[in-house]
Chain A
Amino acid sequence: MSNETKKITKMIDEVTNFFLLKYKCEIIIHLIPRKEEHEIKFLLKGVHPDEKEFNTLKDLLDSERDPSLSSYYWQLAGEVEDGNELAVVAMMCDTIKPERSDDGLVVTLIRKNVPE
């Protein structure tokens, strides 16, 4: 599908928007395109959420990929001005993993490619 690249950039847009509004921190983004998938890694430097906040974030990101909805609603990703949810991104990803590190919070998104 020709929209695949656009979907990746929309996901980055939405997640960046969400974290900027929430933490106003330095964000390092690694986008790794592979043959079978795209991996997007966000490092939120200096962000060390407490247990409660970390669990809330995990809940927000806890969703399985749902093409029956994301094929239609993906255009909304990145359009929100007051980011308080990541539902659209969550339904576009195969896995989303938030982790703690010494440098800060690391959130890794993986989206398997749709055959062209």
Chain B
Amino acid sequence: MDRTERHIYLALAAFPLLLIAAGCAVDSPVAILAGLRAIVRSHSLLLTDYLAVGGLGATLVNAGLCGVISVGLMAMNRIKVSGPFIAAVYTVIGFAFFGKNIINIWPLLGGVWLYTRYQGVDYRDYLIVALFGTTLAPLASFVAIGSEWPWGLAIPLGLCAGLAAGFVLPPLASHMLRFHDGYNIYNVGFTGGLIGSFLSAVLRSFGLTIQTGELISHDYSFFLGVLLNLSFLAMIAGGALNARNQWPQLRESGRAILNSSGRLVSDFVRIGGLAATVINMGVMGLLSSAFVLLLRGTFNGPVIGGILTVVGFAAFGKHFKNSLPILAGVCIAAYVTQWTPDSTPVIIAGLFGTTLAPIAGQYGIKAGLLAGFFHLSVVMNVGMLHGGMNLYNNGFAGGFVAAMLVPVMEALKRKEKSDEQ
């Protein structure tokens, strides 16, 4: 690893390390350990806000440690830092506020590792799937802890369930890309939704009741809002500092990013360079926070997960031009449908709904508005299929919305073109 690459790794590790430091500053070691114990012993199904389960310090430490594990795995496997991997790390950190923890991510990571052993390929070739694949971490937690089977049976079964899900993820995730042609950025979420639905159907047939619900904390909103937004401002400042004396180049890079549709595979580090990408991440963080405040929401675990996922994917497909129409579409839907606009499920549907940003990027604002509008309705109805075992429920819903809309948009575009001729 050369010096530049080492610096990029340090920059990537800075945010999870900041979370660990903040966690240690707000709570005592005893409280943090007790909180972590409560977190790893929760079933972790959607929506389990770890802030409500383990408190502020433990949740921040859990998120930071999950991020450090992700960056560590990347370094161990000599991964070149790119947009997709930045997105993966921030997604793991974000969901470590509500569903992923320092224990339940390992069976999934291990399952993908077993797949690479079976295929005789390097783990690094599928590390991106492994990191995103931790979307199914609650599957392991639920079987091991939430099933209420005897511990001697439940824990090995939970481990096996996680390993099995991880093992089948790489071929399935790759195949599922064709379902939506790369217009749903959270593709592993769509795959995870299918696997989760399949496995929860099997578990239900053995008489298991999968009870989902909402456990959400509203206690630390101000602190977390300030911490996050200061971090986003630091990202913008850091990016600008990195590009000092090269403003025309930075402007060109920014333009290249904003001109990208965002469809998979849009690696902004490759398209616009690191400085412009980091600035885009900071801007998208501030935009996401503004969206939460606009809907009068609070900064709780799931909402922070949504914001951090948007920030991560601002290195891999999202910018304000292709994301704003989706956010607006979800907003409009929230006010005209039966859902409550300031409720956490609606707010996170908006944030995670930006998984459909490439539709706005490719087909324009009206298509983006439509995608956002339909996304809210679909996402509110698909969670029951997998019983909350797939954390990227919006990626699951986004796959269906994209698969429905993209062929129609293509057909309309062709009609417009032929009318012009």
Number of interface residues of B (CB under 8 A): 32
- By a CB distance below 8 angstroms, the chain B residues around A73 are 174, 177, 264-265
Contact B124 A82 (CB under 8 A): no
| Distance in angstroms between the alpha carbons of A67 and B129 in the assembled complex | 12
Determine how close the nearest CB of chain A comes to the CB of B52; give it in whole angstroms: 34
| Distance in angstroms between the alpha carbons of A84 and B182 in the assembled complex | 14
Contact A75 B265 (CB under 8 A): no
From the candidates A72, A75, A81, name the one contacting B126 in the complex (CB within 8 A).
Answer: A72
From the candidates B121, B173, B265, B362, name the one contacting A91 in the complex (CB within 8 A).
Answer: B265
Contact B128 A69 (CB under 8 A): yes
Q: A1-B121, A71-B170 are in contact. List 18 more A-B contacts (CB 8 A).
A: A63-B270, A66-B80, A66-B82, A68-B77, A68-B80, A69-B82, A69-B265, A71-B174, A72-B125, A72-B128, A72-B129, A72-B174, A75-B174, A76-B178, A76-B182, A76-B264, A79-B182, A114-B121
Determine how close the nearest CB of chain A comes to the CB of B88; give it in whole angstroms: 11
- Dominant SS at the B interface? helix
Contact B362 A82 (CB under 8 A): yes
| Distance in angstroms between the alpha carbons of A71 and B119 in the assembled complex | 12
0/1 interface trace, chain A 1-29, chain B, CB 8 Å (1 if under): 10000000000000000000000000000
Contact B125 A71 (CB under 8 A): yes
- By a CB distance below 8 angstroms, the chain B residues around A87 are 265-267, 270
Q: Is B63 engaged at the interface, CB distance under 8 Å to the other chain?
A: no
- By a CB distance below 8 angstroms, the chain A residues around B261 are 84
Determine how close the nearest CB of chain B comes to the CB of A62; give it in whole angstroms: 9
Q: Is A57 engaged at the interface, CB distance under 8 Å to the other chain?
A: no
Determine how close the nearest CB of chain B comes to the CB of A1; give it in whole angstroms: 7
Q: Which B107-146 residues have a C-beta within 8 angstroms of A? A: 119, 121-122, 124-129
Determine how close the nearest CB of chain B comes to the CB of A111; give it in whole angstroms: 15
- By a CB distance below 8 angstroms, the chain B residues around A69 are 82, 84, 128, 265, 267
| Distance in angstroms between the alpha carbons of A69 and B77 in the assembled complex | 13
Q: Which A57-110 residues have a C-beta within 8 angstroms of B? A: 63, 66-69, 71-76, 79-82, 84-85, 87-88, 91
- By a CB distance below 8 angstroms, the chain B residues around A91 are 265
29 pairs, CB–CB < 8 Å, chain A vs chain B: A1-B121, A67-B122, A67-B124, A68-B77, A68-B124, A68-B125, A68-B127, A69-B84, A69-B128, A69-B265, A69-B267, A71-B170, A72-B125, A72-B129, A73-B177, A73-B264, A73-B265, A75-B175, A75-B178, A76-B177, A76-B182, A79-B177, A79-B178, A80-B181, A81-B410, A85-B266, A87-B270, A88-B265, A91-B265
- Residue of A whose beta carbon sits closest to that of B132: A72
Q: Which of B82, B263, B266 neighbours the largest number of chain A CB atoms within 10 Å of its CB? A: B263
Give the 9 A-B residue pairs with the shortest CB-CB distance, closest first. A71-B125, A67-B125, A75-B177, A73-B265, A76-B182, A79-B181, A75-B174, A68-B124, A87-B265
0/1 interface trace, chain B 278-306, chain A, CB 8 Å (1 if under): 00000000000000000000000000000
Contact B126 A71 (CB under 8 A): yes
| Distance in angstroms between the alpha carbons of A75 and B267 in the assembled complex | 16
- By a CB distance below 8 angstroms, the chain B residues around A85 are 266
- By a CB distance below 8 angstroms, the chain A residues around B103 are none
| Distance in angstroms between the alpha carbons of A81 and B124 in the assembled complex | 30
Q: Is B79 engaged at the interface, CB distance under 8 Å to the other chain?
A: yes
- By a CB distance below 8 angstroms, the chain A residues around B85 are 68
Determine how close the nearest CB of chain A comes to the CB of B121; give it in whole angstroms: 7
Q: A68-B124, A75-B177, A75-B178 are in contact. Are A80 and B265 (CB under 8 A)?
A: no
Q: Which of A72, A91, A114 neighbours the largest number of chain B CB atoms within 10 Å of its CB? A: A72
0/1 interface trace, chain B 175-190, chain A, CB 8 Å (1 if under): 1011001100000000
| Distance in angstroms between the alpha carbons of A11 and B85 in the assembled complex | 23
Q: A74-B174, A79-B182, A87-B266 are in contact. Are A1 and B362 (CB under 8 A)?
A: no
Determine how close the nearest CB of chain B comes to the CB of A7; give it in whole angstroms: 11
| Distance in angstroms between the alpha carbons of A68 and B78 in the assembled complex | 10
Q: Which B169-217 residues have a C-beta within 8 angstroms of A? A: 170, 173-175, 177-178, 181-182
Determine how close the nearest CB of chain B comes to the CB of A60; give it in whole angstroms: 10
- By a CB distance below 8 angstroms, the chain A residues around B79 are 68
- Residue of A whose beta carbon sits closest to that of B256: A59
- Residue of A whose beta carbon sits closest to that of B176: A75
- Residue of A whose beta carbon sits closest to that of B175: A75
Determine how close the nearest CB of chain A comes to the CB of B307; give it in whole angstroms: 25
